[in-house]
Amino acid sequence: MNVLTGSLVMTLSAIFYGLFAPYLKKVSETVPPFMTLAVTSATIAITSLVLSFIFEKNFDLHLLTSKSMIKLILAVGMLNLLAYWFEILGFQYLPVWQQQMFFALIPAFAGVAAFFILGEALSIRLLIGLIITGTGLFISVK
């Protein structure tokens, strides 16, 4: 795995999410959360479908024929819905920079979830990172 490429991709993702948050807060000041979710999700779905046809040579709806895969992809969708909904609600209580600080907890939650779901190993670095992140988050919202 190319760490440099992965780091660049994740940096771009962070930049886009950084731009995304202020726009989402601006929208949420007028548009109700579930309407925001519906419109943005439809935009993502349509755009993703088109891009999948263009860029993914292995686009195949047969990949979604097993019941276990359908349940899994629906669970991923529900997790995304809940995460996005709570993000929108968070704008009511915190300024953007403080609200976004909570995303620093994602690696810790993802690491623990990956341990249980995927069997990935936990490390002392995760625990140390969680302590540092938790301390930084506490300081930023205090």
Domain that residue 34 falls in: 1-93
User: Does one domain contain both 45 and 2?
Assistant: yes
User: Does one domain contain both 108 and 77?
Assistant: no
User: Does one domain contain both 68 and 88?
Assistant: yes
User: Does one domain contain both 77 and 116?
Assistant: no
68 CB-near residues (< 8 Å, 6+ apart): none
Question: From residue 81, how far is each of 60, 66, 85 by CA, in Å?
Answer: 24, 23, 6
User: Does one domain contain both 6 and 53?
Assistant: yes
User: Does one domain contain both 86 and 103?
Assistant: no
Answer yes or no: are the C-beta atoms of 108 and 133 closer than 8 Å: yes
Any idea which of 12-26, 46-60, 86-100, 108-122 has the lowest mean pLDDT?
A: 46-60
- State if pTM tops 0.85: no
* 86-107 pLDDT tens trace: 998 888 888 888 888 888 888 8
Higher-pLDDT residue of 31 and 136 is 31
Mean pLDDT within 46-52: 89
Burial class (CB in 10 A: 0-12, 13-18, 19+), 103: middle
pLDDT of residue 41: 92
∠25-27-41 over CA atoms, to 5°? 100
Q: How many domains does the chain have?
A: 2
